[in-house]
Amino acid sequence: MNTAHEHWGSRLGFILATAGSAVGLGNIWKFPYITGENGGAAFIIIYLGIVFTIGLSAMLAEITIGRIAQTDAIHAFRKIGKPGWSFVGVMGVITAVIILSFYSVVAGWCIAYVVKSAGGAFSGMDAEAIAGAFGTFVSSPLSPIVYHGIFAALTMAVVVAGVGGGIEKTSKVLMPLLFVMLIALAVRSVTLPGASKGLEFFLAPDFSAISAGTVMAALGQAFFSLSLGSAALLTYGSYVDKKTNLGKSVVQITFLDTLVAILAGLAILPAVFAFGMDPAAGPGLTFVTLPTVFNAMPGGYLFAIVFFVLLTIAALTSSISLLETVVSFFNNIGLSRRNATVGSGLLVFLLGIPSSLSVGIWSDIHFIKGQGFLDSASWMTDKLLLPVGGLLICVFTGWIIAPVAAKEVLGDGEPGILTRAWFIILRFVAPVAILLIILSGLEIIKF
Ligand code: PHE
């Protein structure tokens, strides 16, 4: 074991790196289309309710376990005295590898779209032609894999430089940049003629659109977006010094993650309405609908490039947290950071190849529920591994290490109403709610 566990240089560095992990494709690619598919404002209200109760509590739990243990996810559970629980860490690290493998493929598409937008590849095309171009690109055997490799290499370059020198420094530059770009895009979008219909969809709730399925969608999205349940937060928590106020930090991180999701919705949905496109276009909203919107928008050439750069940056600050989760473990069993990074980076790159091919020449090979490799990997992490990981983290903190966890969060302070609420959520509310998402995701129960 390495005796010197690394630490963040400052509290701000910790907040920005962790917000960087949370803010990603989940906020900018998924959140707007899931909101679009689930009726807009009413979905957002439910999402906010879940994020600031269950989401925030589970995030505080995961980060707290990390800070108590001051080691990687797999050693953490053993070190805080419960060896039988190390499988939660093992599952977390495996989940991180799986997510990263397909996340890097989609992030590779984002880099490709920076290049394509800058080269004017979509100029003059209508929606159908853009959809065709997207299909041709993602299904080609080589080029998406090359972009996936470029993205994986970028992720490795940051992680190899270490916690303070790589991850923290990069997050401190990229996160403010991301905010500036996103605000510029949101302002552009809401000031387009015809944007008001989109704003209304986004801000005026229609509660008749809410069903149990909407609540489940909001819970699943909250988990993915907050990076909960894959041990990435635990790993980042292990680099926090003992002076940092965890409760306050977690509120700030959750707030930033939510702000970015809302801004992304504001940047995307009003523009989609202004040009008469379908807000419920699903995953294609980013790669097909938006380039069409940019084509029709004054200044669209520049805004397209800004948007895809933004998406790549958001994905990078998330992927480094996933890779770090794996590297931290290998580092602790004796590999140098360099070897651990190169080894796990290569593994993730290789695992991503079938994901990439599954949208093209391997599209006939099916795994879970008739889905290809990429969709199966995403299904398995979204519907099973992340919620199960999150559930176990809540149960572990709420039932097994409660006194130690309370002391870690409170210091010498007395437990107040917030601490009590935290434990009620960890012990009862979150396990029941998460169990429901898992059972409904697996279609064992139907709403
Ligand atoms: N939170 C990231 C996003 O919104 C994805 C992620 C999930 C990152 C789990 C780390 C761990 O894109």
Nearest CA to ligand 1 atom 11: 227
Nearest-angstrom CA–CA distance, 123 and 57: 46
- Spans in the chain with pLDDT lower than 50: 1-2
Amino acid letter for position 265: G
Q: How far is the CA of 397 from the centre of ligand 1 (A)?
A: 21
Tell me what pLDDT residue 394 has: 98
Check residue 39 and give left, alpha or beta (phi > 0: left; psi -120 to 50: alpha).
Answer: left
Q: Within the chain, how many helices (H) and strands (E) appear?
A: 23, 0
Q: How far is the CA of 54 from the centre of ligand 1 (A)?
A: 17
Nearest-angstrom CA–CA distance, 242 and 255: 22
Nearest CA to ligand 1 atom 7: 227
Tell me what pLDDT residue 1 has: 44
Tell me what pLDDT residue 300 has: 93
| Ligand 1 mutation target, pool 23, 101, 151, 224, most atoms within 8 A of CB | 224
Nearest atom within ligand 1 for CA of residue 96: 11
Nearest-angstrom CA–CA distance, 290 and 36: 14
Nearest atom within ligand 1 for CA of residue 386: 9
| Ligand 1 mutation target, pool 98, 225, 233, 313, most atoms within 8 A of CB | 225
Q: How many CA atoms lie within 13 A of 299 on its CB side?
A: 11
Tell me what pLDDT residue 433 has: 92
Tokens (6 digits) for 162: 């270490």
Q: Pick the closest to residue 162 from 14, 379, 8, 45 (CA basis).
A: 8
State the burial class of residue 140 (Cβ atoms within 10 Å of its Cβ: 0-12, 13-18, 19+).
middle
Q: Ligand 1 site: residues with CB under 6 angstroms?
A: 21-22, 24-27, 99, 224-225, 227, 230, 232, 318, 321-322
Q: How far is the CA of 242 from the centre of ligand 1 (A)?
A: 25
Query: Directed axis angle between helix 86-118 and helix 373-380, to 10°?
Result: 130
Tokens (6 digits) for 284: 């294609």
Nearest atom within ligand 1 for CA of residue 226: 1
Tell me what pLDDT residue 214 has: 84
Tell me what pLDDT residue 215 has: 84
Contacts of 179 (CB under 8 A, 6+ apart): 260
Model confidence, pTM: 0.95
Nearest atom within ligand 1 for CA of residue 24: 12
Q: How far is the CA of 26 from the centre of ligand 1 (A)?
A: 6
Q: How far is the CA of 243 from the centre of ligand 1 (A)?
A: 26
What's the pLDDT tens digit per position in 228-282?
A: 999 999 999 999 999 999 999 999 999 999 999 999 999 999 999 998 888 888 7
Nearest atom within ligand 1 for CA of residue 225: 4
Q: How far is the CA of 100 from the centre of ligand 1 (A)?
A: 9
Query: Directed axis angle between helix 41-50 and helix 246-274, to 10°?
Result: 170
Tell me what pLDDT residue 370 has: 84
Q: How far is the CA of 128 from the centre of ligand 1 (A)?
A: 31
